[in-house]
Structure 1
Amino acid sequence: MTIPEFKRRKREGKKLIVVTAYDALFARIVEQAGIDVLLVGDSLGVVVQGNKNTLSVTMEDMLYHTKLVAGATQQALVIGDMPFLSYQVSVEEAVRNAGRFLQAGAAAVKLEGGAPVVDRVAALTKFGIPVMGHLGMTPQSVHQYGGYKVQGKDRHGADALLEDAKALEAAGAFAVVLEAVPADLARRVTETLTIPTIGIGAGPYCDGQVLVLYDLLGLFDEFTPKFVKPYAHLKVDALQALRRYKEEVEQGKFPSDSESYH
């Protein structure tokens, strides 16, 4: 998967499938499943590090996990999520930090916001760094929103989001994530843009979908947004396996003769 191929999928009417990944093992599994776009999301702050939000994730955290994922993939497009304060301070800092993602093995970066980051998007693309935008419920602005809330529900909010999406495309973004927005608004944005839209809680009309891997596999259940559909329940399986292991060790059943060297 390349950036030109990614964009071509929209023109061909083929859905784009994106899944987050944070380490080499899961990156290989996701790629073997035929998923050809891996997002190293700053969501790792919540699902891997156990924090309440993504704001404490650092560039060092993101570069470390990006190296793990990129090093394990063969064909997938790897996108690195730019963490809080890695691009907001200045255009120069945004270029420098985005370049570090490419040095770590990513093929593109993702950043949140509309009009305030358009100059960052333009500068990055000018220097050959592909950028994916992110509009709607942007997790790095969680305190401004007063929590994780649906965005663009009124006419003013919807119109502003559409204008931001058009501005990101004009600045050179190759795609835009739409998170937690009404399905009809996502459809309007998707039909307006010539670049792909990737939905997460944005209904079925986007050009593709993204889910957090741990949500998809049923591993993370601290809270479950409406838009999450678990396709497995691996936490339940893991608990059962660990309890059996504990029981067999306590009862002297493990290790048995077949697990012992002679």
Structure 2
Amino acid sequence: MSATGDTKAITPPDMRLRKGQTPLVCLTAYTAPIAKLVDRHCDIVLVGDSVGMVRHGLPSTLSVTLDMMIMHGKAVRRGLERALMVVDMPFGSYEKSPEQAFRNAARVMAETGCAAVKLEGGETMAETIRFLANRGIPVMAHVGLTPQSVNVFGGYKVQGGGGDAERIFRDAIAIAEAGAFAVVLEKVLEPLARKITAEVTIPTIGIGASAACDGQILVVGDILGMFTEFRPKFVKRYAELGSEADAAIGAYAADVREGRFPAAEHLYADASKAGDAA
């Protein structure tokens, strides 16, 4: 059951109706245990291609494969009851043609049980979004900083300055008209994100964008402080589990080396209790 007491599964049409309403709460998840935790509190759970960096140690999202996304999607599905599950389409799995995108998105939905997929790109992806939406595949779009295009941008830079603002605005309008049910605005200048939110008819989900967006999304490991060396400006940490885990592992290592673990209470001295689960 969710924090609101509602166990009804959220759908893409439900998301459209949330435009301008109570802000949408969104987080990433890559495993069943984390999915179970975020399901109680979130409206949307994204199985992001960020999994390549935060779980597989890759330098960017570009090496993430369809099989990786499906594997993590299956795990997340097992932990969800209520939240809308969206799976990222990885780099190279949808750009070639609408037909390629449909084939791979249909596989992702069939094998993971997700309710929608997410594609990066604006005007250039409008035809593909329309193709998918017309064939029963709900699409969440993603404009602004699109990490799969990091080499084109020359790094993870803030978007929307100068003439670039008009391009991003057109991107958002185009994907909304093509049938996307929501759009992520990443690392977009605040005034532009606010303007887009006011103009498009679908919910905007901000990450480093604007408090005026219809919702917010962050990487779950970032809000939990799992990565001590990585702290973008747009992230607010709600815990410091990385440093706590480091201290706990260090304490365990010291106990083992100095003979304090295992102690008598951790051993089975009585054969009659050897089968105890505790």
TM range (shorter): over 0.9
Alignment partner of 1:109 is 2:117: yes
Partners of 1:158 and 1:146 lie apart in 2 by 17
Q: How many Å separate the matches in 2 of 1:10 and 1:55?
A: 31
| C-alpha displacement of 1:70 | 0.9
Aligned positions of 1:44-123 closer than 5 A: 44-103=51-110, 104-123=112-131
Report the Cα distance in structure 1 between the residues aligned to 2:86 and 2:228, rounded to whole angstroms. 25
Q: Which residue of 1 aligns with 2:33?
A: 25
Deviations 1:49-100 (A, max 9, x none): 1111100000000010001001221111110000000001111110011111
Distance, in Å, in 2 between the alignment partners of 1:151 and 1:96 is 31
Q: Give the letter aligned to residue 8 of structure 1.
A: L
Q: Report matched runs for 1:211-230 at 5 Å.
A: 211-230=218-237
Distance 2:203 2:147 in 1: 21
**Scaled by the length of structure 1, what TM-score is found?**
0.96
Task: Give the whole-Å Cα distance in 1 for the aligned partners of 2:169 and 2:188.
Answer: 11
| Counterpart among 9, 16, 20 of residue 7 in structure 1 | 16
Alignment correspondent of 2:138 = 130
1:187, CA displacement in angstroms?
0.5
* 8 A Cα contact 2:34 2:79, kept in partner: no
Displacement of 1:203: 2.0
Q: Distance in 1 between matches of 2:130 and 2:247?
A: 50
Give the distance between the partners of 1:186 and 1:53, measured in 2 at CA: 25
CA drift at 1:221: 3.0
Equivalent pair of 2:52/2:63 in contact (CA under 8 Å): yes
Please name the residue that 1:254 is paired with.
261
Please give the alpha-carbon distance, in whole angstroms, between the structure 2 residues aligned to 1:96 and 1:20.
Answer: 24
Alignment partner, residue 5 of structure 2: none
What is the CA deviation profile of residues 183-209 of structure 1, one whole-angstrom value per residue up to 9, with x for unaligned ones?
110000000011000000002110000
Residues 50 and 222 of structure 1: is their aligned pair in 2 closer, same or farther, counting only changes over 3 Å? farther
The residue matched to 2:19 in structure 1 has which SS? helix
Amino acid at match of 1:115: E
Distance 1:4 1:59 in 2: 26
For structure 1, which runs of at least 5 residues remain unmatched after alignment?
none
**Aligned-pair CA distance for 1:36:** 2.6
Gaps of 5+ in 2: 1-9, 271-278
Compute the displacement of 1:48 (Å): 0.9
| Fraction of identical pairs, as percent | 49
Per-residue CA distance 1:225-249 (angstroms, 9 max, x = gap): 2111111100111011111111111
Whether the 8 Å CA contact 1:71–1:105 is kept in 2: the answer is no
Range moving further from structure 2, 244-253 or 21-30: 244-253
Q: Partner letter of residue 29 of structure 1?
A: L
Confirm or deny that 1:163 pairs with 2:170. Answer: yes
2:159 alignment partner, one of 151, 158, 167:
151
Cα deviation code 1:162-221 (max 9, x no counterpart): 111111011100001000111110000000011000000002110000000111100023
Paired residue type of 1:135 = V
- Report how many residues are paired: 259
**Distance in 2 (alpha carbons) for counterparts of 1:174 and 1:244:** 48
